Structure 1
Amino acid sequence: MNQQKNQNLLKQYGEWGIKLNKSKQLLRKAMIRIIIYAFIYTFGLLGVIVIGWQLASRITWYNSNPIYEFLILIQNGLIILLPVLLICGYLVIVFFELRKPYTYLDELAYGIQEINNRSTYAIRLEDDELKELNDLLNQIKSEIEFNEQAAKVAEQKKNDLIVYLAHDLKTPLTSMIGYLMILKDEKELPQKSHDHYVEIALDKAQRLEDLINEFFEITRFNLTQQALEISQIDLVRMLEQLIYEFKPMFQEKNLNCELQAPKSLAIKCDVQKMQRVFDNLLKNAVNYCFENSTIHIQLTEEKQGYHIVFENSGYTIPQAKLDHIFEQFFRLDQSRGTKTGGAGLGLSISKAIIEQHQGTIQVQSYDEKIIFDVFLPQL
């Protein structure tokens, strides 16, 4: 996964490099300099000849003077010497100007090698004309280092989660076996105790099922490979159906759930994925809500899209935790024995689904309130 990210990053910056059109810029500058230097050299050479001719004509020369004989030789051969001097000068100019791209290649190879060697220092290309390329290479280097560090952190979280899940799977399983053994061995168990033990075993089995589902979620869920299946649905009916399905959970904590929404509101979305988002948000609200309180869901329509706000009363979440709440494997409740301590994937998956719909999700917590604000644009 890390290698794929780096390849995608290099491809992205490669496209930026094409947009910058740096190679054509350098070639164009080199050609302009060649033309300018050629003009300067041509007129400079002609100027030297003219000035030399004028100065030589003002001096009285004698046939026996070696300088006079040399100047006469130049004068007689000027028709051949002048083109030779011009061609030689042009070749020298072209040689020095076209030599620069090869030095650019050397510097570029150096920069790429520094990225490959994971150097801790910033890349510094010597030529000022390569400043944009220098900045681009440093950006690539920084992004690769950031992605690698993020991948290591995510991998560590994943490994920790597997260890935690192994412990969590064992705990309810041990309890189930214990209570089932009691039911098997105690033939004369009172009906009240029998029902109580069956209820506990069933609760532990359901907890075990939830943990197993979360465990498989880690390995099978990959939003980047799942295309949206867009269809139209009444968002109000979807939320009403969800609230109805959660009634047993509401009754356990004596909660009310109020939906403030228009009579109907048709939207286009991936229905299954969006149901998953709202299910995660409502489950999160129930888990972290005070008993005997009310969960508020507000649906409003705007020109650009739709706002769906989930608000519940609960302990204020510190900002340090809010900053990481949408990260994979982040658990708001770190205790291993509570039902609120899931795998830490629900909110991360919800955020990914919403972003697939080109929307946003934000969270805030203050005055013992927890508020999730989802915005979905019109598709």
Structure 2
Amino acid sequence: MKSKGAKRKNDYSKLKRKVFLQISLITVTAAVTVYLLREILRGQFGDLIVQFLVNAFHFNYSDALTIYQLVIRNNMDMILFVVSLIFLVTLFGFFVSWFTKYFDEISAGMDKLAEEYNAEIILAPELDFMENKLNQMKNNLGKQKKAALEAEQRKNDLVVYLAHDIKTPLTSVIGYLSLLDEAPDMPPEQKAKYVGITLEKAYRLEQLIDEFFEITRFNLQTIVLNKEKINLQFMLQQMADEFYPMLTPKGKQVSVNVPDGLTLWGDADKLARVFNNILKNALAYSYENSVIDISAKQQDKNIVITFTNQGNPIPREKLETIFEKFFRLDTSRSANTGGAGLGLAIAKEIVNAHGGNIFVQSNTEKTVFTVVLPQKQEKDKLSA
């Protein structure tokens, strides 16, 4: 059943009423005209015709009357038909011209959709439903264009950030290599220190170059899932172990709380990338000497995985945009922890491809990323 709002959107009643009145007016006018013409030709106008024949052609009255009866009165129906047809065609032409002005207004309104300025589209009162639709389309197009420009600007800003980030470790690599080259007799301890720093900066440089490729790959790649049965506890524990070297220097820990035997159906490689990106984000923005909790449980037909960390809260206005492409919560941290702003956006794409959902909640006490995934697809259940 259609809602009242939908009915108002497609309310043709005003236009129907206007068209009905116009057609009724044409019909009544035509009928009155035919009636009057018949009475005129039969009445005094007939006498005027006879008198005109007598005066103009010098017929006697009886001959003129005979001519009038043979030519006009006996062919009254045919004359009225021809006159009525001409009259109706003329009126119909006026009606068509009047009606097509609505198409001209709609066409002009559609032209305004492509215009840059935000002038409101105004049509005739009978087309208010169409006016509302065109203005809504114009507003939507304006919002989409604004969003596209903002996304493009974020992407351009990110390229600038990455270019700067690449230059910083590259400068360090060149500087320390130059020192090593200029001082071949450098003490072993100092040499080892410089080599370690150079290697660290080289790894950072490699990471940033990978992120450049990630931008292109994210825009062009179509996600194809290769699903299999996943032991969730094993996957999350293995991932936590891999992060141990990055956690230890700042006294951070990861606690994995997943029931034994909890499984789900999905693409293991891509879901590992989702969890990796979330954990990497939690690691970057959590307090020192804090614990990052990873928990999972079955809820109805879904598996719910949460990543909880203690850190500065995410501003409310940024909770929605944190999953957008090229969004980075804190651009000032790009040299150490900031990435291309793609990790969470890619995570969302992968989760959506699995038919799941991902969202974040944040307050002064904790930040919680939640991933909801279907444990099995319906077709999988049928074949199980």
Please give the range of the TM-score, normalised by the shorter of the 2 chains. Answer: 0.7 to 0.9
Contact 2:328/2:341 (<8 A) preserved:
yes
Q: Which residue does the alignment assign to 1:356?
A: 353
Q: In structure 1, how many angstroms separate the alpha carbons of the residues matched to 2:34 and 2:230?
A: 85
Contact 2:158/2:326 (<8 A) preserved:
yes
Contact 1:234/1:264 (<8 A) preserved:
no
C-alpha distance 229-94 of structure 1, shift in aligned 2 (>3 A): farther
**Matched letter for residue 115 of structure 1:** L
Contact 2:310/2:366 (<8 A) preserved:
yes
C-alpha distance 349-103 of structure 1, shift in aligned 2 (>3 A): same
Quick check: 73-82 or 323-332, which moved more? 73-82
Q: Which residue does the alignment assign to 1:226?
A: 222
Report Cα offsets for 1:156-201 as digits up to 9, x if no partner: 2222222222221121112122223333344444433333222222
Quick check: 210-219 or 268-277, which moved more? 268-277
Q: In structure 2, how many angstroms separate the alpha carbons of the residues matched to 1:32 and 1:271?
A: 66
Q: Helix, strand or coil for the counterpart of 1:335?
A: helix
C-alpha distance 39-336 of structure 1, shift in aligned 2 (>3 A): same
C-alpha distance 94-211 of structure 1, shift in aligned 2 (>3 A): same
Q: Helix, strand or coil for the counterpart of 1:374?
A: strand
Contact 2:230/2:268 (<8 A) preserved:
no
Q: Which residue does the alignment assign to 2:254?
A: 257
**1:374 correspondence with 2:367:** no
**1:326 correspondence with 2:323:** yes
Q: Which residue does the alignment assign to 1:210?
A: 207
C-alpha distance 351-81 of structure 1, shift in aligned 2 (>3 A): same
C-alpha distance 29-239 of structure 1, shift in aligned 2 (>3 A): farther
Provide structure 1 residue ranges, at least 5 long, that are not aligned to the other structure: 1-19, 54-62
Contact 1:34/1:93 (<8 A) preserved:
no
Report Cα offsets for 1:34-72 as digits up to 9, x if no partner: 87667766877799899x89xxxxxxxxx9x837858x9
C-alpha distance 369-85 of structure 1, shift in aligned 2 (>3 A): same
**Matched letter for residue 208 of structure 1:** L
TM-score, normalised via structure 1 length: 0.75
**Matched letter for residue 118 of structure 1:** E
**Matched letter for residue 300 of structure 1:** K
Number of equivalent positions? 346
Q: In structure 1, how many angstroms separate the alpha carbons of the residues matched to 2:105 and 2:289?
A: 68
1:66 to 24, 29, 44: 44
Q: In structure 1, how many angstroms separate the alpha carbons of the residues matched to 2:17 and 2:297?
A: 57
Q: 1:232-311 alignment to 2 at 5 Å?
A: 232-234=228-230, 236=232, 237-311=234-308
**Matched letter for residue 174 of structure 2:** I
C-alpha distance 338-163 of structure 1, shift in aligned 2 (>3 A): closer
Q: In structure 1, how many angstroms separate the alpha carbons of the residues matched to 2:108 and 2:121?
A: 9
1:118 to 116, 119, 128: 116
Q: Which residue does the alignment assign to 2:174?
A: 177
Q: Helix, strand or coil for the counterpart of 2:331?
A: coil
Larger Rg: 2
**Matched letter for residue 197 of structure 2:** I
Provide structure 2 residue ranges, at least 5 long, that are not aligned to the other structure: 1-8, 49-67, 378-384
**Matched letter for residue 216 of structure 2:** T
C-alpha distance 34-90 of structure 1, shift in aligned 2 (>3 A): farther
Q: In structure 2, how many angstroms separate the alpha carbons of the residues matched to 1:305 and 1:95?
A: 66
Q: In structure 2, how many angstroms separate the alpha carbons of the residues matched to 1:134 and 1:214?
A: 47
**Matched letter for residue 114 of structure 1:** K
Q: In structure 1, how many angstroms separate the alpha carbons of the residues matched to 2:231 and 2:121?
A: 52
**1:155 correspondence with 2:152:** yes
Contact 1:238/1:275 (<8 A) preserved:
yes
Q: In structure 2, how many angstroms separate the alpha carbons of the residues matched to 1:79 and 1:47?
A: 11
Q: In structure 1, how many angstroms separate the alpha carbons of the residues matched to 2:235 and 2:322?
A: 25
CA RMSD across the alignment: 3.8
Contact 2:358/2:372 (<8 A) preserved:
yes
Q: 1:34-113 alignment to 2 at 5 Å?
A: 66=44, 69=47, 79-80=77-78, 83-84=81-82, 87-88=85-86, 90-92=88-90, 94-100=92-98, 102-113=100-111
Q: Which residue does the alignment assign to 2:132?
A: 135
- Residue identity over aligned pairs, in percent, reads 39
Q: In structure 1, how many angstroms separate the alpha carbons of the residues matched to 2:74 and 2:45?
A: 14
> Per-residue deviation at 1:278?
1.3
Q: 1:11-50 alignment to 2 at 5 Å?
A: none
Q: In structure 1, how many angstroms separate the alpha carbons of the residues matched to 2:26 and 2:261?
A: 76
C-alpha distance 97-42 of structure 1, shift in aligned 2 (>3 A): closer
TM-score, normalised via structure 2 length: 0.75
Q: 1:332-351 alignment to 2 at 5 Å?
A: 332-336=329-333, 338-351=335-348
Report Cα offsets for 1:64-106 as digits up to 9, x if no partner: x837858x98986553355446545653564344435532331
